[in-house]
A and B are shown apart, each in its own frame.
Chain A
Amino acid sequence: MEGDTIAAISTPMGEAAIAIVRLSGEEALHIADRMFRGKKPLKEVDSHTIHYGYIIDPDTDEKAEEVMVTVMKAPKTFTREDVVEMNCHGGLVSVNRVLEIALNNGARIAEPGEFTKRAFLNGRIDLSQAEAVMDLIRAKTDRAMNVAINQMEGRLSKLIHTLRQTLLETVAHVEVNIDYPEYDAEEMTHQLLTEKLTEVKREVEKLLQTAEQGKILREGLSTVIIGRPNVGKSSLLNSLVHENKAIVTDIPGTTRDVIEEYVNVRGVPLRLVDTAGIREPEDLVERIGVERSRKVLKEADLILLVLNSGEVLAEEDEKLFEAVRGMDVIVIVNKTDLTQQIDHEKVHQLAGTHPIVSTSIKEEQGINELEESIKELFFTGSVESGDMTYVSNSRHIALLKQAKRTLEESLNGIDAGLPVDMVQIDITRTWEILGEIVGDTVSESLIDQLFSQFCLGK
Chain B
Amino acid sequence: MKQYEAGKYDVVVIGAGHAGVEAALASARMGANTLVLTLNLDTIAYMPCNPSVGGPAKGIVVREIDALGGEMARNIDKTHIQMRMLNTGKGPAVRALRAQADKVLYQNEMKKTLEQTENLTLRQGMVEELIVEDGVCKGVVTKTGSAYYANTVVVTTGTYLRGKIIIGELTYESGPNNMQPAINLSHNLTDLGFNMVRFKTGTPPRINANTIDYSKTEIQPGDDVPRAFSYETTEFIMDQIPCWLTYTGEVTHELINNNLERSPMYSGMIEGTGPRYCPSIEDKIVRFNDKPRHQIFLEPEGRNTEEVYVQGLSTSLPEDVQRNMLKTIAGLEKAEMMRAGYAIEYDAIVPTQLWPSLETKLVRNLFTAGQLNGTSGYEEAAGQGIMAGINAARKAKGEEPVILDRSEAYIGVLIDDLVTKGTNEPYRLLTSRAEYRLLLRHDNADLRLTEIGHRIGLISEERNARFTLKKQQIAEEIDRIEHTSIKPSDQLQEILGEIGSSPLKEPTSAAALLRRPEVTYDVIAKVVPAESEIDPVVGEQVEIQTKYAGYIDKQLQQVEKMNKMNNKKIPDAIDYLAINGLATEAKQKLSEVRPLSVGQASRVSGVNPSDISILLVYLEQGRIAKIAK
Contact = CB atoms under 8 A, between A and B. Distances in A.
B617 interface: yes
Given A120-B617, A135-B581, A420-B91, A457 B279 contact: yes
Nearest to A175: B432
Interface stretch (A196-204, A334-342, A440-448): A440-448
A458 B93 contact: no
Contact of B87 (A2, A181, A422, A451): A181
A444 B276 CA distance: 13
Given A117-B613, A178-B87, A421 B437 contact: yes
A442 B49 CA distance: 32
Centre residue among B49, B93, B430, B431 by max chain A CB count within 10 A: B430
B610 A421 contact: no
B312 interface: yes
A178 B90 contact: yes
A134 B620 CA distance: 12
A454 B312 CA distance: 14
A419 interface: yes
Contacts of B276: 451, 456-457
Interface residues of A, number: 49
Contact of B616 (A121, A127, A419): A121
B297 interface: yes
A134 B287 contact: no
Contacts of A451: 276-277
B300 to A, nearest CB: 15
Contacts, number: 140
A331 to B, nearest CB: 47
Going nearest first, the 7 A-B pairs with the smallest beta carbon separation are A419-B91, A134-B581, A455-B288, A451-B276, A417-B517, A421-B91, A457-B278
A450 interface: yes
Given A131-B580, A181-B56, A418-B517, A458 B311 contact: yes
User: A interface, by DSSP: helix, strand, loop or mixed?
Assistant: helix
Contacts of B555: 425
Contacts of B518: 417
Given A117-B613, A120-B617, A179-B57, A450 B564 contact: no
Contact of A455 (B284, B581, B628): B284
B86 A181 contact: yes
B314 A458 contact: yes
B11 to A, nearest CB: 34
Interface string A158-199: 000000000000010001011111111000000000000000
Centre residue among B49, B94, B551, B555 by max chain A CB count within 10 A: B94
B334 interface: no
B621 interface: yes
B178 interface: no
B312 A458 contact: yes
Centre residue among A177, A178, A447 by max chain B CB count within 10 A: A178
B273 to A, nearest CB: 13
Interface string B594-616: 00000000000100011001101
B581 A137 contact: yes
Given A179-B431, A451-B276, A2 B581 contact: no
Contacts of B618: 130, 134
Nearest to B49: A458
7 contacts: A117-B613, A120-B617, A178-B432, A181-B86, A182-B220, A417-B517, A458-B50
Contacts of B430: 175, 179, 447, 450
Given A121-B616, A134-B618, A457 B87 contact: no
Contacts of A419: 90-92, 94
B433 A121 contact: no
Nearest to B285: A455
B294 A455 contact: yes
Contacts of B294: 455
B569 to A, nearest CB: 16
A442 B604 CA distance: 11
A111 interface: yes
A439 to B, nearest CB: 8
B90 A134 contact: no
Contacts of B437: 421, 425
A422 B438 contact: yes
B271 interface: no
Contacts of A175: 430-432
A421 B93 contact: yes
B67 to A, nearest CB: 22
B204 interface: yes
Centre residue among A127, A180, A451, A455 by max chain B CB count within 10 A: A455
Interface in A107-144: 111-114, 117, 120-121, 123, 127, 130-131, 133-135, 137-138, 141
Interface in B536-567: 548, 551, 554-555, 561, 564-565
Contacts of A177: 90
A419 B544 CA distance: 12
A127 B626 CA distance: 11
Contacts of A117: 613, 616-617
A1 interface: yes
A326 interface: no
B621 A130 contact: yes
Interface in A44-63: none
Given A2-B564, A120-B617, A458-B278, A442 B581 contact: no
A416 B91 contact: no
Interface string B188-204: 00000000000000001
Contact of A458 (B87, B204, B291): B204
